[in-house]
Amino acid sequence: MVHMRKRRWPLIGIAALTALTLTGCSGAAEPAAENAEEGPTDAGGTLIVYTNSNSDGRGEWIIEKAKEAGFEIEIVGLGGADLTNRIIAEKNNPVGDVVFGLNNMFFEQLKAEEAITGYEPEWSGEVPEEAGDAKDGAYWPLVEQAIVTVYDEKRVDSPPADLEELYTDDAYKGRFEVNPALGQATPQLVLASILTEHLDEDGDLGVSDKGWKLVESYYANGSPAVEGTDLYARIARDEVDFGVLPSSGIEARDAEYGTETGVIVPEYGVPYVTEQIAPIAGTDNEKQAQEFIDWFGSAEVQGEFAAEFNAMPVNENAIEQANPEVVELMESLPRQDIDFGFVSEHLGEWVEKVTLEYIG
């Protein structure tokens, strides 16, 4: 069972997050008008599925389950930002057929670039409208996760009271893992989470001096992630004590490493992400892509996925199959209020500044 450093708070609704996410974006990609009366057609062959959510055996599981359901798929996995940029770069000659796993912020970029095609799946009535693209229906929600800072309660007797203490107190220097790969979704979200609490319209790139000093401390005092090495393996080897993990990975890590995960929960809450799905615009396999979305987002498949990977499905008819401890954890973690519209406008320049000045 996961324990929180702070008291439990009620879960804030998804609507607030999604409304903020949509504020800085526009322009939904519309379904292709050609041959509308005939409906979508397919070129046939293997369905190419782009995702940033294929780790920890998820990709293999999806491939196998899809095959049982009659789909031959190939998964192409990349970090969230890199995958978004790739789809946009390919939009005039698309390679992929479906994309899933990216959060609202990245899907808003794809929508603005008309790199995805609007499609309403058969299970659309089973998910809260505000969890996806409530405005245009260009993408639809699958899984919700909290991005949390974790530690092993068996090893850490006195965790810091909050993240600012973790990043700046010399007692924790070199004892928390940081991921400098800012082409990935989670490291970008961590950066956005830090800066969100220190916005200043008169500051550098909309952030106060205190905010930038805190980011500088985060990267300077942290221990860089080791490619190919799990955070919990590093914790077990006493290389670090703290690190960032999506909430769905906690139960499996505790089972594998014998840890008892604790979570540092700041007063302002933790960032949440909702993984979405949509067809890629211009695919030659539009009908098959739609059928895959109907299948993958269904309550049956999302329920199985939730049970297998300790995920929190957005599909309301799948929640009963989710691990009760996962449901309890998600209900206990307060949601940080992040203006993703503002973040979308500034993230590129934030990443550039951090890369040049703090990471090198």
Helices vs. strands in the chain: H and E counts, helices first = 13, 13
Q: What string of DSSP letters covers 217-276?
A: HHHHHSEEPPTT--HHHHHHTTS-SEEEEEGGGHHHHHHHH---EEEE--TT-B-EEEEE
Helix (H) or strand (E) holding 329: helix 324-332
CB-CB contact of 111 with 133 (8 Å): yes
Domain spans of the chain, in order of start: 17-144+273-323, 145-271+338-359
Q: Residue 3: what pLDDT?
A: 44
Q: Is the pLDDT of residue 26 over 60?
A: no
Task: Show the tokens assigned to 310.
Answer: 């300790």
Reported pTM: 0.73
Q: Measure the CA–CA gap between 320 and 315, rounded to whole angstroms.
A: 10
Residues pairing with 47 in the sheet: 73
Q: Is the pLDDT of residue 36 over 50?
A: no
pLDDT in tens, 305-331: 999 998 999 999 999 999 998 899 999
Q: What string of DSSP letters covers 27-40?
A: -PPPPP-TTTTT--
- The pLDDT-based confidence of 33 (bands split at 50, 70, 90) is very low
Q: Residue 40: what pLDDT?
A: 61
Q: Measure the CA–CA gap between 81 and 107, rounded to whole angstroms.
A: 10
Quick one: fold of 145-271+338-359? D-Maltodextrin-Binding Protein; domain 2 (3.40.190)
Q: Measure the CA–CA gap between 182 and 174, rounded to whole angstroms.
A: 20
Q: Residue 17: what pLDDT?
A: 33
Q: Per CATH, is 17-144+273-323 categorized as 3.40.50.720?
A: no
Q: Residue 251: what pLDDT?
A: 87
Q: What percent of the chain has pLDDT over 70?
A: 88
Query: Could you give phi then psi for residue 88, rounded to 5 degrees?
Result: -65, -40
**Average pLDDT score over residue span 199-226:** 97
Q: Is the pLDDT of residue 29 over 70?
A: no
Q: Measure the CA–CA gap between 51 and 57, rounded to whole angstroms.
A: 13
Coil, strand or helix at 100: strand
Q: Measure the CA–CA gap between 218 and 307, rounded to whole angstroms.
A: 35
* pLDDT averaged over every residue in the chain: 88
C-alpha distances out from residue 27 to 110, 261, 267, 279, Å: 10, 42, 35, 16
Q: Which residue has the higher pLDDT, 260 or 41?
A: 260
Q: Is the pLDDT of residue 21 over 80?
A: no
pLDDT in tens, 153-192: 999 999 999 999 999 999 999 999 999 999 888 899 999 9
Amino acid letter, 108 = E
Q: Measure the CA–CA gap between 167 and 340, rounded to whole angstroms.
A: 24
Same fold across 17-144+273-323 and 145-271+338-359: yes
Q: Is the pLDDT of residue 6 over 80?
A: no
Name 345's Cβ contacts closer than 8 Å, sequence gap at least 6: 24
**Average pLDDT score over residue span 1-23:** 34
Of 48, 49, 65, nearest to 309 by C-alpha is: 65
CB-CB contact of 133 with 27 (8 Å): no
Q: Which residue has the higher pLDDT, 66 or 10?
A: 66
Task: Show the tokens assigned to 110.
Answer: 């794809």
